[in-house]
Amino acid sequence: MDNFRFYVPTDIRFGQDRLASELTEVLDTYGKNVLLVYGGGSIKKNGLYDQIINLLEGNQHTIVELSGVEPNPRIETVRRGVALCREHQIDVILAVGGGSTIDCSKVIAAGVFSEEDPWEIILGRKGYQGEALPIVTILTLAATGSEMNSGAVISNLETNQKLGVGGPAMMPKVSFLDPANTFTVPAYQTAAGSADILSHLFESYFNVTAGTDVQDFVSEGLMRSVIKHCPIALKEPDNYDSRANLMWASSLALNGLTRNGKHGVWSCHAMEHELSAFYDITHGIGLAILTPRWMAYVLSEQTVNKFAQFAKNVWDITEADKMKAAKQGIQATYDYFKACGIPMTLPEVGIDAEKFTEMAKQAVAHSTIKTSAFVPLSETDVENIYQECLTESDFI
């Protein structure tokens, strides 16, 4: 296990009906001028928007709105947010939504203090050390974990780039996590969000660092929880306990708990970011399609022990032969995503082989998967994995 620092100062307010008594007090800590950031309008349909507006207006907050944040938030929206913050002397950003809204808010918060264009901050990747406006979040989708970490991912469709950035000041100050706010999330997005959570866990679990039993066993428990509760939430959208388990798993999967103490980079995210950058697909769907194919591609005598452990501890597979068990675990992962209603081939989400070579080149250029991944991947490897995603798969 590597040396690490685990410092996650986000104040989590988990549970039902906390906004009325706590939201305005939290915002008052930072000021009265609030940038309210949200996405496509679902918070207006479920009543959350009206509740927030009434609370803030009743406490004499000045509200400036930035709506329409995209599922893969775009740099143009970030720029609009930065301009609004400067124009209205915003004190605090209130991000209401899922990871896209929160990610967008993080880069806006940093962009206000930078003389550079926000895209230049992103091109600096994970090294942002400057100031940022305080961010308060109200989570409405269990998926990215952005409510409890300092990272953000932004898309630039002009350059076909989807890149991550992060810095200590981008960590949300307070996050309200009410599982009831996810009751109205459509089944497709619930499944995609759960796939995203699982992918965060998979990416840290399949890692080159030895001696990380604590992180791995925590990951296995979180995986089992998501695997159990996503189908329940799909059948019973207002099942509070299942929504609660998915929401908390989302936060814990990417707040450093399962990642700290490890080195090496993620593989499937680097490949999926290119799918989203070129085709603007739902991130969790792309991850679900790629992950089993990546698992099968990197399975070998050198990696079989970890995959056999995964099969046994996550999927309860009892096969004694490690290679057979590993393949059964990969098949179980594929079958699970499919049973959740996720399309499991790229053509089903409108992607053919036309841009595979270009996307594979960028996946390698924008990451270090060629040298630092669980199994290093060349451009040819990435293209081969994309090719495997064109048709249905059988791994046994």
Q: Domains of the chain (ranges plus CATH)?
A: 11-182 (3.40.50.1970), 187-388 (1.20.1090.10)
Closest C-alpha to 71, from 170, 148, 185, 225: 185
Phi-psi region of 121 (alpha: psi -120 to 50; beta: other; left: phi over 0): alpha
> What pLDDT sits at residue 353?
97
Query: Angle at CA 297, nearest 5°, toward 292 and 303?
Result: 95
Length of the chain in residues, anyone?
Answer: 396
Q: Could you say which DSSP state residue 174 is in?
A: E
- Tell me if the pTM is above 0.75: yes
> What pLDDT sits at residue 125?
61
> Can you tell me whether residue 15 is helix, strand or coil?
coil
For strands 161-166 and 151-156, give the pairing: antiparallel
Q: Give dist(CA 245, CA 252) in Å, integer.
A: 11
| Contacts made by residues 355-361, CB under 8 angstroms, sequence distance 24+ | 355/278, 356/383, 356/386, 356/387, 357/383, 358/278, 359/271, 359/274, 359/275, 359/277, 359/278, 359/386, 360/271, 360/274, 360/386
Q: Give dist(CA 298, CA 93) in Å, integer.
A: 42
Stretches where the chain sits below pLDDT 70 are: 125-126
> What pLDDT sits at residue 42?
87
> What pLDDT sits at residue 136?
98
Q: How far apart are the first and last CA of the chain?
A: 33
